[in-house]
Chain A
Amino acid sequence: MPQFIVRRVLYSIVTLFILSATIFLVVRFTGDPVALMAEASARPEDLDRIRHQWGLDRSWPVQYVTFMQNAFRGELGKSFNYRLPVTELYFQRLPNSLTLGLAATLISLLIGVPAGIISAVKVNSRWDNVAKGIALLGLSIPGFWLGLVLILVFSVWLRWLPTSGAGDWRHVVMPALALGWYFAASMLRLTRSSMLEVLGSEYIKLARLKGLPDVVVIAMHAFKNALIPVFTLAGVNMVVMVNAAVIIEVIFAWPGIGRLLYEGIFQRDFPLVQGVVIMAGVMIVGINLVVDILYAFIDPRIRLTR
């Protein structure tokens, strides 16, 4: 077991190194941030001065090493645009993204789990077909378009919900639904297949043979075991949603990290973009590591595979 953990941790570190180097290189391959920062009338000497000031006149390897040294100390550089540390901007926005991610996860569970259970219990029935239809639509409706249509219906026509910004729960409903919709489909598919697997297992057959009513078998015996992978996926999905909500946050003017990334991109704020993207990688690698290790505790067979 310790060997397994060490190997997993090492892999995660290597992954993050490759990721950070890739992002670092892409950012530097594509244009001169200094030219954008300075005024159009700036003389070459001024540009050089700015370059020196931001440490952009040094060679790439030196810049990368400095960047990584700072990163280990928890500093991701300073935003060109805001002249503030990237981490400060990031952690200001993060709570909003967490709220949205949590709400979207709840919605995806509320849609996906009941529909998945019904569809598995009444397999090949009308309900199963309805659930399959929902799953298919979940994958086919672009989340951002759903967001626009929701605005059209609930804000423009019905005037029930505000279109943008963060505040009370009414601000969260539409972005969370637009974001969670796609993930609801994956929850549904997983719940369904997981329930089907459990319902076909020996101990469920035994419970039925004992004469337990269907409700008890499904609610007490099957449900619990079938939902372990579902909740694991929900956890991983939440981390993904926190980081991948760029378009939804832009549409609903939600002040989260996705919008921060979007603003950074259009202001050519390289340190900011680099920082937000790397933080996304750190969070996702982190959650995957946690899940891998937890599963290895639960199921010893996993430790043996790579």
Chain B
Amino acid sequence: MSTTLPPPRTEERVNYLNVDYGWKSWLFTTDHKRIALLYLFSITAFFFVGGVFAGLMRLNLLRPDGMFQHDTYNKLFTMHGIIMVFFFLVPSIPATLGNFLLPIMIGARDLAFPRINLLSWYIYIAGGLFAIGAIVRGGVDTGWTFYAPFSSSYSNTHVILAAIGVFVSGFSSILTGLNFIVTVHKMRAPGMTWGRLPLFVWAHYATSLIQVLGTPVIAITLVLLGLERILRAGIFDPTLGGDPVLFQHLFWFYSHPAVYIMILPGMGVISEIVACYSRKSVFGYVFVAASSMAIAVLGFFVWGHHLFVAGQSMYASMVFSFLSFFVAVPSAVKVFNWTATMYRGSISFDTPMLYAFGFIGLFTIGGLTGLVLATLALDVHLTDTYFVIAHFHYVMVGGMVLAYMGGVHFWFPKITGRLYPEYWARIAAVIIFIGFNLTFFPQFILGYLGMPRRYATYAGEFQVLNVMSTMGASILGLGYVLPLIYLSWAWFKGPKAPQNPWGAKGLEWEAAPSPPPTLNFEVPPVVTEPAYNYAGEVEVG
């Protein structure tokens, strides 16, 4: 932390938080920063609901013969998946940090469509209520993937309610994406050229393209599922003349790109953190930005790698396997560039950087095990086993959740105007890292040994590894509760934060106070240098 900054002002400035305390000023706000906080509280609630389901699953798996009824366990993993994917991971970084920071980072006073932004939150909540309704009325047992014909013709649970929840919340995702795209195109401050955009913005731009282009497909798919379930229209169920593999094609046409909706914003956060705590411009800026776009585009052409044993043509499988290796390249490029950014930097070990280290390590493992699954003959053995579970949790939790935690800590002073307790934050980061690995690493081994996923009971020889995983999950759970406590405390009682406590570059730190006023800047910013100009270089030409 730099000591050369001026002391914080003692007099309370008017900012977006203290401008009005009434409930209407929150529920009818069009301020992107307040909407970001509405999202923050909502997704945090969903995260802990989804987390409790995960905890109960791990509890059940302590014993080979399980503890709960099979139906109960099946509902637990289904609701865990639906809540975490659609109500936490998809909105996590874009709707909170993205919403808060994207306009400030490009020097805009708000998003292009502030009321649509608020509408997106209400739609999200409406979708969430349907999902909660499905839980309260007894749950769903189809798995978050809703595979037909089980979901359309066989399940006796609240499939329609849950599907409506996912369907509705998709529109909030589309609206957020739309808002971001228009904002980045039309509302950049003078001097904020495309080549100067922070990589966080590039990552969100790429994410938004997927949200706008991909999400309608899952909406259509769920409508077709509803038509078959309610009206018995023969679309997926072969006894009605449908094709069950068609459902999987449609589902993954969205849900594979959705994986990139879930990870790209995290990559954007890591670029910001690594640059700040290395005090270096990001190595290969153009390549990191372009790799986000490449991932967004290529991500649409790999959905078939979920169907290698599902009965699709072996030649189709071959093409999808090849393209899946291809999409690994831009992800690898990012990891190499972050590592190279640290070369000859000035590296500090503040909490956000600890999360960034964790992200790079765990995402590397998550990405490389993706290569194992892209290899056709290995996928035949490993698909639908715990290997897949471990792989995507390394990407989604080891990657996205760590990036989210890193981002929340990094921008916490900007969002709240307070500093979090560094000591506790570092402890929590280490606990999360240890707990995570103990939970999910044994699952790679379980997968290769052949333990299938979604099993309420399992063969006795898998018990040791399952017990290890459950132990890890308890540590991980503790790691998540700690930040909830100390961040809540710091929000009200933490020391006041200066405008730029980390000495970071970027308009949100250099031009906007902490917390920012409603219109973000006291003076409209003009950009005169490239992003991450930590060395203070003067641009030539």
Tell whether A and B belong to one assembly. Answer: no
Interface, chain A (partner B; CB < 8 A): none
Interface, chain B (partner A; CB < 8 A): none
